[in-house]
Chain A
């Protein structure tokens, strides 16, 4: 199946700094990528839909100025957590649409664990 990578796999930062997370589709092009966040013992929560060449669409309650998304190419989307605070500590997961047989399927990255001190 299609492969999606994320970098870094984990990051620790000080409160007030910004952190950038990269999401790449390695063997396919993805016009649409998604960013999720997952807190311990909870399900994945969709944060935003990232569209190549246009602005991201954010879910209700997600601050677009805090979570900056850039989808500059068909294989790369980035999420920047600006002025991170301890409550932003979470597991961030991206996904990208690719083809599985005759049907599009969403493939997920391995996730990035963020710890804000």
Chain B
């Protein structure tokens, strides 16, 4: 799987949009970009995924650059409950694939 690079930590004011960047410059053509988050003492939660088009769901939006070498997860109106570690992962989902977690970005939402 391709490696990803994320900032170690970020903070954002409550009610503002939180934009979390991720670099995946070695991503291959059949790999998707997945985002998960882990709230303290819980299992990771799936947020969103995409291949090359921008995606939006009830939780977030995912913007993938045209060259697919980077992406941004957008939480449109951050709340205190969005405080978590956010993981950006690339995954091809072949029969042998498995998710390897990096360090992620620790997002803190301030009141």
Contacts and interface: CB of A to CB of B under 8 A. Distances in A.
Contacts of A108: 36, 43-46
Contact of A105 (B34, B38, B104): B34
Contact of A43 (B34, B41, B93, B103): B103
Nearest to B100: A46
Given A1-B46, A93-B44, A109-B43, A104 B98 contact: no
A107 B46 contact: yes
Contacts, number: 54
**Which DSSP category, helix, strand, loop or mixed, fits chain B's interface?**
loop
Interface string A100-111: 100111111111
A106 to B, nearest CB: 6
A25 interface: no
Interface string B74-111: 00000000000101000101000011111110000000
Interface string B20-47: 0000000000001010101001111110
Interface size for chain A: under 10, 10 to 19, 20 to 34, or 35 or more residues? 20 to 34
A46 B98 contact: yes
A106 B99 contact: yes
A67 interface: no
Nearest to B103: A43
A100 B46 contact: yes
Interface of B: 32, 34, 36, 38, 41-46, 49, 85, 87, 91, 93, 98-104
